[in-house]
Amino acid sequence: MDPQSSYNDLPWELIVPALQGELSPEEELRFQEWLASSGNNREQYDRVQRMWKEGMGDYMLYKGADEGKAWEALREKMGDGGEKMGDRGQRKGVVYMRRWTVAAAVLLLAAGAGWWYMAGKTASVQYRTVVGEQRTVSLPDGSTVVLSGQTRIELDHDYNKTSRTVTLVSGNAQFDVVHQEQRPFTVDLGIVSIKDIGTSFTVDKTKDSIKVTVSAGKIAFIEKESGQSREVSVGGSLCFYTAGRRYSTTDLLRFDNAPLSDVITALQRLSGKNILLKDPSIGQKKLTAHLAGESFEDALKTVCASLNLVYDVKNGAYILEARDTATHN
C-alpha cells in the first residue's frame, strides 16, 4: 500500500473528530456511512485508530509538538493533496486547523514515517507502549529496558558509539545496565538525569515527579542546572518533586535479582550490624526479595532461606555460609 496515495483520500474532516470523540450527530451519520461503504475504508480507519491510541490518544506528542514543522512536513509528504487539505482547513477556522494538526501527526505515524518533530529535537529511535502493555527492549550494548504501559523512551542516534543516553519521555521503565567504565549509562529526564554506577533500577516519571528505585548497585541522581548529585544505593528509593524541587528518600529494601553482596551492604547500612561471608564467592548469588518492614533478624532469615544459607553470630558479627558447607563443619 502506498501511504501517500492511500491516506490522501481519507475523509480526515470526519476521522479526526471521530478519534477525538467530537463528531456531531450529522458528522456521525456521514462517518458511519463512509465506514459501511467499503471494507477497505474500515481497514484503513482501524489502522489509523491503532496508531492514534498508541501515540496520540493522550496528546503527549501533540502538546510538545511544533505545529508549523509538523504541518510543513505533512504537506511535503503529501504534495498537492496536502495543500488542498490545508486550504480547506483554513476555511474552517482555527479549531479546524487544530484538528488538521492532530491529523498530520496521526497521518505521519500511520504512513510509517516513524518520527515526530519535538520542539527542535529529533530522536533516531523511539520505543513506546500502550495501556496494559509491557515490552522488553534490548539495547545495542547488551543492557535491557522493560517498559510498563503508556511509556515512551528515545535513544540517541549514536547510542553505544560515543555515549549511552536513553531519554525517558514519560511512564515507567526498569533498566538493567551493563556497566562500562569508559562509557557511562545515562537516563535523561529533562531537568535531571540518572547516571548508572553498575546498576539495575526503575524510573517512574509523571508530570509532577520523578521516582527512582534501585534494586542492584547504585545510581547518581543529578540536577542539571545546579549540578547537585545524590547517590541512591541498592534497596533505596528517591522521589524528586519537579515543581518545588523537593526530595524524598526511602529505604524500600526491594531487590530484583541483586547480588547477595549488594543486599548485605544495604542491610548493614540500615541496621549497623556487621555481616560477613565465610566464602566470598557466595556474594555473587542473586536474590529477589522485598524486605521492607521486617526486623533485621527476620530479613536475614529470609535471605538465608532464599539462597540456602545459614548464619552464626560470633563476636557480634553475623557470619553467613552455604547450608551444605555448614553441615559438614
Same domain, 235 and 304: no
Q: Report whether pLDDT(186) > 90.
A: yes
- Identify the CATH number of the domain in which residue 285 sits: 3.55.50.30
Q: How confident is the model at residue 114 (pLDDT cuts 50, 70, 90)?
A: very low
- For range 236-261, the mean pLDDT: 86
Residues 6+ apart with CB under 8 A from 229: 220, 221, 222, 223
Same domain, 129 and 248: yes
Top pLDDT among 131 and 304 is at 304
Same domain, 102 and 8: yes
- Identify the CATH number of the domain in which residue 170 sits: 2.60.120.1440
pLDDT exceeding 90 applies to what percent of the chain? 33
Q: How confident is the model at residue 6 (pLDDT cuts 50, 70, 90)?
A: low
Mean pLDDT computed over every residue of the chain: 77
CB 7 within 8 A of CB 40: no
Structurally, the chain folds into a number of domains equal to: 3
pLDDT at residue number 80:
40
Same domain, 137 and 246: yes
Q: What is the DSSP string of 203-239?
A: EEE-SSEEEEEEEEEEEEEEETTT--EEEEETTEEEE
The Cβ of residue 314 has, within 10 Å, a number of other Cβ atoms equal to 8
- For range 55-66, the mean pLDDT: 45
Q: Report whether pLDDT(211) > 90.
A: yes
Q: Report whether pLDDT(103) > 70.
A: no
Top pLDDT among 111 and 7 is at 7
Q: Determine the structural domain holding residue 88 and report its residue range.
A: 3-110
- Among 48-57, 300-309, 316-325, the minimum mean pLDDT is found in 48-57
Residue 80 domain-assigned? yes
**Strands annotated E in the chain:** 125-128, 135-138, 144-147, 152-155, 164-176, 185-188, 192-205, 209-223, 229-233, 236-241, 246-251, 254-259, 274-277, 286-290, 309-314, 317-322
Q: 37-59, pLDDT tens digit by residue?
A: 888 888 888 877 776 665 554 44
Among 83, 110, 137, residue at a domain's last position:
110
Same domain, 99 and 129: no
Top pLDDT among 112 and 318 is at 318
Same domain, 288 and 248: no
Q: Report whether pLDDT(239) > 90.
A: yes
The model's pTM is 0.53
Please give the distance of CA 230 from its chain centroid, rounded to a whole number.
Answer: 21
Q: How confident is the model at residue 217 (pLDDT cuts 50, 70, 90)?
A: confident
Residue 303 domain-assigned? yes
Top pLDDT among 145 and 95 is at 145
Among 237, 252, 267, residue at a domain's last position:
252
CB 71 within 8 A of CB 101: yes
Same domain, 130 and 235: yes
Same domain, 198 and 269: no
- Among 62-66, 269-273, 292-296, 319-323, the minimum mean pLDDT is found in 62-66
Residue 93 domain-assigned? yes
Q: 285-301, pLDDT tens digit by residue?
A: 999 888 887 889 999 99
Same domain, 131 and 210: yes
- Among 82-86, 247-251, 267-271, 315-319, the minimum mean pLDDT is found in 82-86
pLDDT at residue number 111:
44
- For range 259-283, the mean pLDDT: 90
Among 252, 278, 304, residue at a domain's last position:
252
- Among 72-76, 110-114, 318-322, the minimum mean pLDDT is found in 110-114
Same domain, 34 and 13: yes
